Amino acid sequence: MSRRFTPKVVTANDLLEGDVIYLTADDRWSRAHHEAELIEDEAHAQLRLLFASGQPARVVGPYLAEAKAGPAGPEPTHFREAFRTRGPSNYPHGKQEAANV
């Protein structure tokens, strides 16, 4: 029996800035994890990844990352993805910096 599909988001890095970005349901790339499209179907996930991979002039290295539903939108489930939503822990740089200004 194949393993049950767990929810995912499509994420990548922005080509010009390098910043972490997420694919939204309306085909935008957002800097915010909670705006990502939470994908609950495996076939749809593959289609969305294909869609992302077709934008090489905009994004680098798209992949499916584990996520779960939260009150404000999708939330990361793994600590690596959680760090990607914020930035490093030694300085308030990255996304957490943008959130402070």
31 touches another protein (CB under 8 A): no
18 touches another protein (CB under 8 A): yes
CB 95 within 8 A of CB 18: no
Measured CA distances, 30 to 1, 9, 11, 15, 73 (Å) = 35, 12, 9, 13, 13
95 touches another protein (CB under 8 A): yes
100 touches another protein (CB under 8 A): no
Interacting residue ranges for another protein, rule: CB under 8 A: 13, 15-20, 56-57, 60-61, 77-80, 83-84, 87-91, 93-95
